[in-house]
């Protein structure tokens, strides 16, 4: 158990809908990262927050957005969902935002768009 929690574990929804994925980092960690894992693309970085502020952006679609709250939990919002958004979404956390910080991953949310 990494100490990172994610809810829900599974989410099934229809195209065009909007969903919210939630992540609580390990106690004491200030950075939260979101990754998407699909069969053909592997793990792809989406976005990072550090202590409530957006720190870095990766291949995140405009339909997706995220935020980190004062209690450091984070939410990833996915809207106008398409079939291709079906994937595993992982949250990771680290103590700070340094390049050598270990990122600890949560158990993931499996999103299925029908």
Contact between 43 and other proteins per CB under 8 A? yes
Q: Which helix (H) or strand (E) holds 12?
A: strand 10-13
Among 90, 93, 111, 113, binds other proteins (CB under 8 A): 90
Contact between 64 and other proteins per CB under 8 A? no
Q: Give the CA dihedral 58, 60, 64, 65, nearest 10 degrees.
A: 20
Residue 63 to residue 86: CA distance in whole angstroms: 14
Contact between 48 and other proteins per CB under 8 A? yes
Contact 10, 110 (CB under 8 A): yes
Among 55, 65, 67, 95, binds other proteins (CB under 8 A): 55
Interface residues with other proteins (CB under 8 A) are 2, 4, 33, 42-45, 48, 55-56, 58, 88, 90, 97-100, 102-108, 110
């Amino acid at each position: 158990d990494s100490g990172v929690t994610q809810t829900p574990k599974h989410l099934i929804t229809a195209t065009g809908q909007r969903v919210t994925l939630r992540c609580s980092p390990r106690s004491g960690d200030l950075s939260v990262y979101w990754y998407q894992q699909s069969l053909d693309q592997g793990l792809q970085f989406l976005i990072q927050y550090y202590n409530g502020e957006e720190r870095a952006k990766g291949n995140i679609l405009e339909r997706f957005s995220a935020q980190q709250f004062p209690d450091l939990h984070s939410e990833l919002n996915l809207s106008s969902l398409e079939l291709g958004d079906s994937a595993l979404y992982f949250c990771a956390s680290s103590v700070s935002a340094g390049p050598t910080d270990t990122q600890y991953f949560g158990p993931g949310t499996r999103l299925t768009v029908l």
